[in-house]
Amino acid sequence: MTEVAVIGVGFHPWGKFPDKTFVDLGVVAAMNALKDANMEWKDIPAAVASEYVWGGTDGFNAGPALAGHLGETGIPITNIFNMCASATSVVRSAYHVVASGERDICLAIGLDVSPKGFFGFMGTPNPKDTDYLRWRVIGATNPGYWAMECRKRMEKYGTNAHHLAMAKVACSKHGALNPNALFRKEYTEEEVLASPMVCDPLHLYEICATRDGAAAAILCRADKATKYNGKPIIIGGVGLGSSLYGDPTLRLGLLSAPAGDMAPLLSESHMSAQMAYELAGIGPEDIDFVEVPDNSSWHYLQYLETMGFCGPGEADRFLDEGQTLIGGKLPVCPSGGASSFGEALSAQGLLQICDIVEQLRGQAGPRQVQGAKVGMGQTYGQLGNSASIILKV
């Protein structure tokens, strides 16, 4: 397969936009990416978009809906929905369009706008839908699931309230330096622990908010990339993973899980990371910084182990030693993470990629990871889906 580079990135600011549509956000992201690549929409020969699933038939055909505003060129456009892993999955498909030789260039876009009144279950009540059941007959919220995994971790490895708070503190230090971040306050451990308990043991500040946003990247054959951008960023590999039998994680939306340790926790993320490493021909030790999907402090710690950066139970000490800060051995979420932006489900992976590219271009200013050559991003979707991407200069 042909080597593929990222020649342009752009996004619509993250925030709450109750009066905007997914098209409004998507068009801004696409135009910003095009500008970054010194291109126009009419130069794009293919596109892949995330689906917008919260209302409106056009959302299921989000890509062509965007093309309606950008200009109807008749190009091939795929729409993809892989839950919260959608945006990174979109990039994998865009990568295939170029790597296969089908097209020289492909635009990848992820977008999300919360529907009005978005709180919990958004589907139709259905007694055969376990995601409906967990809300209706138990009252199990997303943080509730994560809190139960977190407690298991605390009892197994000694993770405690201090570690959970410090994960937020670490992300906030990075968010404070990122002018793009929504939440710019640098928190102390005391402030995090003083925030209201949501689902014991997770405090409010230890759980990421949800927000709206859209982000895009333009991919190009590496051997033609410098025509558009003097600093093309190479895609080392994009992995995708589904769950392994025996994974003891109680998946968000299910009512049961295998007991025991037959397969790794968060196995879909383990699989997608492994696949990305294999395709890139490297290992976790070669990664200079990583954007993990930090939905909660539990995730922050667990992903470091699941993705192979730390051995079982070692993430807490790694964090305590300051190794996850910019300047440490492996900066984690140097963008500030979902902790500092809020999560826009179907767009988050591409927001990660925008920041990873900025780092690898050496343009991250006070957040610059010195000597950064290889960056990684990962997003994880409800009910068993994950995508990981490795980018390098």
Partner 1 sequence: METKKKQYAEVEGLFTWPADEPHLIGGLCKGCNTYFFPKFSIFHKPGCPQGPVEEVLLSRRGRLSSYTVQCFPVPPPFVSADPFVPFAIGLVALPEGIEVIGQLTGVSIEDVKTGTDVELVVEKLYGDKDGNEAMTWKFRPV
Can you give the binding site for partner 1, defined by CB under 8 A?
119-121, 125, 127-128, 130, 132-141, 144, 147-149, 151-152, 155, 196-202, 243, 245-246, 248, 250, 254-260
H-run or E-run covering 385: strand 385-392
Cα 372 off chain centre by: 19
Q: Which residue has the tokens 């290889």?
A: 374
Query: How many other C-beta atoms lie within 10 A of the C-beta of residue 207?
Result: 24
Nearer to partner 1, 193 or 254 (CB): 254
CB of 258 to partner 1, least distance (A): 6
Smallest gap from Cβ 84 to partner 1, in A, equals 19
* Residue 317, amino acid: R
Q: How far is the CB of 5 from partner 1 (least distance, A)?
A: 36
Rg (CA), the chain: 20
Measured CA to CA in angstroms, residue 62 lies from 24, 32, 51, 112, 351 at distances of 11, 18, 5, 11, 18
Shortest distance in whole angstroms from residue 250 CB to partner 1 = 6
What is the closest distance, in whole angstroms, from the C-beta atom of residue 135 to partner 1 in the complex?
Answer: 5
Nearer to partner 1, 120 or 283 (CB): 120
Residues sharing a CB contact under 8 Å with residue 285, sequence separation 6 or more, in sequence order: none
The CA distances from residue 103 to 82, 100, 190, 236, 286, in Å, are 23, 8, 53, 19, 30
Name the minimum Å distance from CB 393 to partner 1.
39
Provide the minimum distance between the beta carbon of 42 and partner 1 in the complex, in angstroms, as a whole number.
45
User: Could you tell me if 73 and 41 are in contact, meaning their C-beta atoms sit under 8 angstroms apart?
Assistant: yes
Q: Which secondary-structure segment (H or E) carries 110?
A: strand 105-112
Q: Compare residues 1 and 137 and give the one whose CB is closer to partner 1.
A: 137
Q: Nearer to partner 1 by C-beta: 69 or 136?
A: 136
From the list 329, 321, 331, the residue with the least C-alpha distance to 356 is 331
Please report how many Cα atoms fall inside a 13 Å half-sphere around the Cα of residue 54, on the Cβ side.
22
Give 142 or 178: the residue with its C-beta nearer to partner 1.
142
CB closer to partner 1 out of 240 and 280:
240
Which CB sits closer to partner 1, 246 or 284? Answer: 246
Q: In whole angstroms, how close is the CB of 129 to partner 1 at the nearest point? A: 10
Q: Residue 194 or residue 255: which is nearer to partner 1 going by CB? A: 255
- How many C-beta atoms surround the C-beta of residue 318 within 10 A? 20
